[in-house]
């Protein structure tokens, strides 16, 4: 069996397994509570790996791993630190409270939680609309990663590769709902976790070990500059950022934007709803940060070592510059050039699993936000059967839109972390105050929550379009400042009626 055939064989076996889970879950997802939350009966192993697998996607493997090539170890260190910190805070601060309140309020989605918490449909509808916009943008980054994987590793056209990966996700997600999502996440999360470790160990072996690799990096000349920049903070970055003297601000704000999303991203927070009890949350608070920390430290440290590996496989400095401008292609390129055939198949499956485990959750959140938080609000008499059918149809429709956007982003040369950082900036800025602060501050009002979500979203968009490439600070910083202050101010100015 040749290399390509083995990769396809492993991938097909993987698809058979997740399809089987999807069809099995379909038989147990006949009610809204089962389809949306798997009956709120999940244990900590499933929830922890589902949280991990949903949070880390191809953006982590390709964007997170590859961006170390562009920014050096300052990227790896800060991104890993923020990831572990906010994973811990999410399970300690958000999880116990929202698990308790969501069951008490009979909440099934994040927007309907906001509606019940503030006793108003305004924040619920606004939250649903923001989800529809920002999640489609986030999925675009994942689709872009999938396209690059199939291009580099299987020589399949960019668009065809996206379709090969996305169609199975549409099928098993629309059939099995949340149960299908979390069970496949468990399998995909395990594959991702060990795939990341194997990838890191093989890279270390190729460069002669960690210490030897670090010493060799000091001798390289990335784009004619000192290799020491790969090991420093502030260090290496694209020339416009270095000329502006904003390397540290850029790295800090981007890694912060990506990581703090764990506190308030609907696709992650919804997992706390499904925990069987508070003991599950307590155990998950220990397991999840450990999983995330190990994965982050290994995968995000691969990129800088690519400066030692690429010269053996590319013909010119121009090709290296191409990777510097588009680091999303580095991980699949290294995997195909460096590793034995069997390992190639495993790494490909791990990266595809990372993509699919996030897409399935985003699709479910998108579909349920539309049907339960917009359609059901407008048409309250809709039956449970029609609601489920509409949700399954919406899953298919929402999966199709990012395909066009992914092709457009490729043409415009956008890199994955840039797209993810923008999407996460909007998500975090819009939801952190109404959701997280609203869990503990009783004076937060429906008006304050609504204004906060609108103003923070507008701020992120305007900042990205007008000021981001002037100051090189990611939109999450001004977005959070506006979101938190407006939530407090407008809640005090117009409190809810008692």
Q: Are 264 and 432 in contact (CB under 8 A)?
A: yes
| pLDDT value of residue 436 | 93
Residue 443: how many CB atoms within 10 A of its CB? 11
Indicate whether 2 pLDDT > 70: no
Confidence band, pLDDT 50/70/90 cuts, at residue 42: confident
Lowest mean pLDDT among 2-11, 48-57, 422-431, 467-476: 2-11
Q: What is the pLDDT of residues 315-351, one digit of tens each?
A: 777 778 888 877 877 887 887 777 777 777 777 777 7
Q: Which residues contact 396 (CB under 8 A, 6 or more apart)?
A: 170, 174
Q: What is the pLDDT of residue 95?
A: 92
- Dist. CA 314–CA 323, nearest whole Å: 10
Encode burial over 231-259: b for 16+ CB neighbours within 10 A, e otherwise. Answer: bebbbbbeeebbeeebbbbbbbbbbbbbb
What is the pLDDT confidence band of residue 478, given thresholds at 50, 70 and 90? very high
- The pLDDT, as a whole number, for residue 413 is 62
Give pLDDT, residue 139: 85
Query: Which residue is listed with tokens 């979390």?
Result: 182
The tens digit of pLDDT for each residue in 43-79 reads: 889 889 888 888 887 667 777 888 888 899 999 999 9
Q: Distance between CA 390 and CA 384 in Å, rounded?
A: 10
- In sequence order, the 6+-apart residues with CB closer than 8 A to the CB of 470 are none
Confidence of residue 465 (pLDDT cuts 50, 70, 90): confident
26 pLDDT more than 80: no
d(CA 450, CA 275): 28
For residue 214, pLDDT beyond 70: yes
Reported as a single tens digit per residue, the pLDDT across 95-126 is 999 988 888 888 888 999 999 999 999 999 99
Mean pLDDT, rounded, for 396-420: 77
Polymer length in residues for the chain: 498
Residue 259 tokens read as 């990581």
Q: How confident is the model at residue 412 (pLDDT cuts 50, 70, 90)?
A: low
pLDDT at 3: 65
Q: Establish how many alpha carbons lie within 13 A of residue 419's alpha carbon, considering only the half-sphere containing its beta carbon.
A: 30
Q: What is the 3-state secondary structure of the chain? A: CCHHHHHHHHHHHHHHHHHHHHHHHHHCCCCHHHHHHHHHCECHHHHHHHHHHHHCCHHHHHHHHHHHHHHCHHHHHHHHHHHHHHHHHHHHHHHHHHHHHHHHHCCCCHHHHHHHHHCCHHHHHHHHHHHHHHHHHHHHHHHHHHHHHHHHHHCCCHHHHHHHHHHHHHHHHHHHHHHHHHHHHHHHHHHHHHHHHHHHHHHHHHHCCHHHHHHHHCCCCHHHCCHHHHHCCCCCCCHHHHHHCCHHHHHHHHHHHHHHHHHHCHHHHHHHHCECCHHHHHHHHHHHHHHHHHHHHHHCCHHHHHHHHHHHCCCCHHHHHHHHHCHHHHHHHHHHHHCCHHHHHHHHHHHHHHHHHHHHHHHHHHHHHHHHHHHHHHCCCCCHHHHHHHHHHHHHHHHHHHHHHHHHHHHHCCCHHHHHHHHHHHHHHHHHHHHHHHHHCCCCCHHHHHHHHHHHHHHHHHHHHHHHHHHCCCCHHHHHHHHHHHHHHHHHHCCCCC
Average pLDDT, the chain: 86
d(CA 386, CA 17): 29
Q: pLDDT tens digit string along 229-242? A: 999 988 988 888 99
Q: Give the angle subtended at the CA of 363 by the CAs of 361 and 367, to the nearest 5°.
A: 120
Tokens in use for 115?
Answer: 């509606």
Query: How confident is the model at residue 460, as a pLDDT?
Result: 93
Instruction: Give the pLDDT confidence of 343-395 residue by residue, as tens digits.
Output: 777 777 777 777 787 788 888 889 888 988 898 888 878 887 888 888 888 98
Among positive and negative, which fits the CA dihedral 58, 138, 254, 329?
A: positive
- Looking at the domain 3-411, which fold is it? Sodium/glucose cotransporter (1.20.1730)
Tell me what the mean pLDDT of segment 8-26 comes to.
81
- Cβ(123)–Cβ(115) below 8 Å: yes
Whether 83 shows a pLDDT value over 90: the answer reads: yes
């Amino acid at each position: 069996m040749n290399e390509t055939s083995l990769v396809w064989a492993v991938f097909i076996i993987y698809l058979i397994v997740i399809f089987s889970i999807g069809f099995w879950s379909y038989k147990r997802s006949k009610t809204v509570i089962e389809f949306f939350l798997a009956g709120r009966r999940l244990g900590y192993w499933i929830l922890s790996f589902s949280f991990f697998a949903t949070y880390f996607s191809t953006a982590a493997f390709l964007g997170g791993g590859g961006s170390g090539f562009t920014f050096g170890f300052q990227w790896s260190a800060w991104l890993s630190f923020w990831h572990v910190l906010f994973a811990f805070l999410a399970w300690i601060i958000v999880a116990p409270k929202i698990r308790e309140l969501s069951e008490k309020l009979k909440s099934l989605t994040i927007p309907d939680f906001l509606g019940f918490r503030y006793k108003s449909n305004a924040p619920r509808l606004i939250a649903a609309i923001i989800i529809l916009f920002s999640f489609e943008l986030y999925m675009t980054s994942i689709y872009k990663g999938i396209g690059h994987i199939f291009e580099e590793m299987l020589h399949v056209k960019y668009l065809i590769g996206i379709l090969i990966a996305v169609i199975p996700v549409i099928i098993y997600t629309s059939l099995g709902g949340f149960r299908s999502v979390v069970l496949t996440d468990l399998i995909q999360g395990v594959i991702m976790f060990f795939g990341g470790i194997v990838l890191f160990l093989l890279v270390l072996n190729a460069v002669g070990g960690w210490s030897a690799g670090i010493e060799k990096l000091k001798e390289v000349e990335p784009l004619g500059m000192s290799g020491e920049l790969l090991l420093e903070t502030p260090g290496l970055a694209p020339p416009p950022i270095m000329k502006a003297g904003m390397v540290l601000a850029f790295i800090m704000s981007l890694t912060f934007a990506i990581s703090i999303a764990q506190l308030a991203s609907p696709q992650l927070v919804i997992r706390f709803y499904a925990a069987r009890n508070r003991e599950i949350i307590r155990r998950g608070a220990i397991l999840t940060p450990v999983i995330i920390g190990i994965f982050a430290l290994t995968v995000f440290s691969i990129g800088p070592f690519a400066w030692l590996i690429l010269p053996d496989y590319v013909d010119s400095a121009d090709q290296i510059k191409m990777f510097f401008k588009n680091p999303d292609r580095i991980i699949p390129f290294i995997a195909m050039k460096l590793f034995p055939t069997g390992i190639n198949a495993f790494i490909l499956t791990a990266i595809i699993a990372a993509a699919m485990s996030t897409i399935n959750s985003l699709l479910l959140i998108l579909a349920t936000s539309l049907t339960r938080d917009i359609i059901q609000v407008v048409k309250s008499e809709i039956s449970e059967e029609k609601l489920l059918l509409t949700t399954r149809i919406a899953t298919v429709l929402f999966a199709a839109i990012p395909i066009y956007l992914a092709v457009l982003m490729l043409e415009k040369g956008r890199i994955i972390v840039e797209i993810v950082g923008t999407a996460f900036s909007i998500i975090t800025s819009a939801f952190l105050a109404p959701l997280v602060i609203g869990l503990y501050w009783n004076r937060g009002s429906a008006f304050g929550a609504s204004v906060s979500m609108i103003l923070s979203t507008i701020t992120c968009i305007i900042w990205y379009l007008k000021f981001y490439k002037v100051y090189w600070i990611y939109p999450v910083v001004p977005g959070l400042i506006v979101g938190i202050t407006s939530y407090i101010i407008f809640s005090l100015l117009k409190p809810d009626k008692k």
